[in-house]
Structure 1
Amino acid sequence: MEERVEHFGTDKYPLALRLLHWARALLIFGQLWMGWTMVRLSDDLPAKFDWYYPTHKEFGVLTFLLVVVQLAIRSRTTLPASPDGLANWEKKCSKAAHYLLYSLAIVVPLMGYSMSSTYTQSDGVPFFFTHLPELLPKNDNWFKVFQWLHKTLAYTLLLLVVLHILGALKHRFLDADRRNDVLRRML
């Protein structure tokens, strides 16, 4: 007897979006780890200001640019529809979570840039072989606001990423309807 293979259609994301998704995921995890690590280091450790902060800033700008490219490609691409097996509330939560993930992936680096731009002791915002212009006036009171926003929104982003991963794993391993496996669309 011949084994029946279920085909779910061509509902994978385009290769460019899949590659950008995983690159963005790596960058965001790296940025969260580096940010969490560097603020806990002693100010007496030269690497804190000579390596951690500049590298965090560079990759923050890179993350921002990657998200902008990803959004530009998404806007010109037909994306797979949500699986039919998902409940309406799951579809709505998924859509809201994706909007928030993209929004925070843009806003968190912008708050980091704003921190560097307004901090009176900042030596600028490096981006690999150049420095970005500081567009905001130096003001340590504004720096504190941007610092709080950057930190709070970064932790919010982390929470959303964890929920995003848990949702994908739930659909892959716990849902009875195999059509709900959204992870395969990104692999």
Structure 2
Amino acid sequence: MTEVSRTGRSVRYPVSIRILHWLRAILILGLIACGWYMTGRAEFDPTAGILYPNHKQFGILVWLLALVHLTLRWRYHAVLPHKPAALKAWEKRLSHGTQRLIIALTLLTPLLGYAMSSSIPDGDGVPFFFISHVPEILPKSDAAFAVFQALHKYCAYLLLACIALHVAGTMKHRLDDKGGETDVLPRML
């Protein structure tokens, strides 16, 4: 049974959104770690030959899960918990902006990765689990590849910074504020 506040809104997020939140968190952090490892290795390292295609297909999965997340947020909009009233106005704005940026970057970063892989001359394509290759719609170009590569990298770093800020805010309210009304972590557990 879902707990409901005095306003009639849920105190916790729906189960589907909570599961999706944690699944996306694990996948995104894994992809960022994998990206760091791959780019720090020699191009012909045998490990890289396994990691690159998996990084690509899990990146597409993150993009698809971001679309599902947006759909669920739209569907459950009327029952999603509000920001706690005890939060300061700047905390609400920062939280809202950070969450929006995380959503935008989980859509943009995989698209830039796809564009990078799609535009590289002599590339090996973009696999997606049971589909041998996702259609490549961009022309092959070293210059475009370099631009998409840089954008993909910087968006991944920005996404990681936003995640760190998101976690820091959650822990601040959990630990420094001693829980209470501003403790938002139980809403996602």
Give identity over the alignment, percent.
46
Q: Which residue of 1 aligns with 2:39?
A: 39
The two structures have a TM-score, normalised by structure 1, of: 0.93
Q: Which residue of 2 aligns with 1:67?
A: 66
Which ranges in structure 2 are unaligned for 5 or more consecutive residues? Answer: none
Matched, 1:169 2:171: yes
Q: Which residue of 1 aligns with 2:140?
A: 138
One-letter amino acid of the counterpart of residue 46, structure 1:
P
Cα contact 1:18–1:186 (8 A) shared by 2: yes
Distance 2:48 2:179 in 1: 49
CA shift, 1:121, in A, is 1.9
Question: 1:138 aligns to what SS in structure 2?
Answer: coil
Kindly provide the CA deviation profile for residues 10-30 of structure 1, in whole angstroms up to 9, marking residues without a partner as x. Answer: 410000000000000000000
Distance 2:172 2:122 in 1: 46
Cα contact 1:85–1:177 (8 A) shared by 2: no
Q: Which residue of 1 aligns with 2:152?
A: 150
Cα contact 1:8–1:179 (8 A) shared by 2: no
One-letter amino acid of the counterpart of residue 91, structure 1:
K
CA shift, 1:40, in A, is 1.1
Q: Which residue of 2 aligns with 1:17?
A: 17
Kindly provide the CA deviation profile for residues 30-52 of structure 1, in whole angstroms up to 9, marking residues without a partner as x. Answer: 00000000111122322312x11
Q: Which residue of 1 aligns with 2:52?
A: 53
CA shift, 1:177, in A, is 6.4
Distance 1:121 1:178 in 2: 56
CA shift, 1:176, in A, is 5.0
The two structures have a TM-score, normalised by structure 2, of: 0.92
Which ranges in structure 1 are unaligned for 5 or more consecutive residues? Answer: 1-6
CA shift, 1:140, in A, is 0.9
Q: Which residue of 1 aligns with 2:97?
A: 96
One-letter amino acid of the counterpart of residue 146, structure 1:
F
Superposition CA RMSD, Å: 1.3
Distance 1:13 1:44 in 2: 45
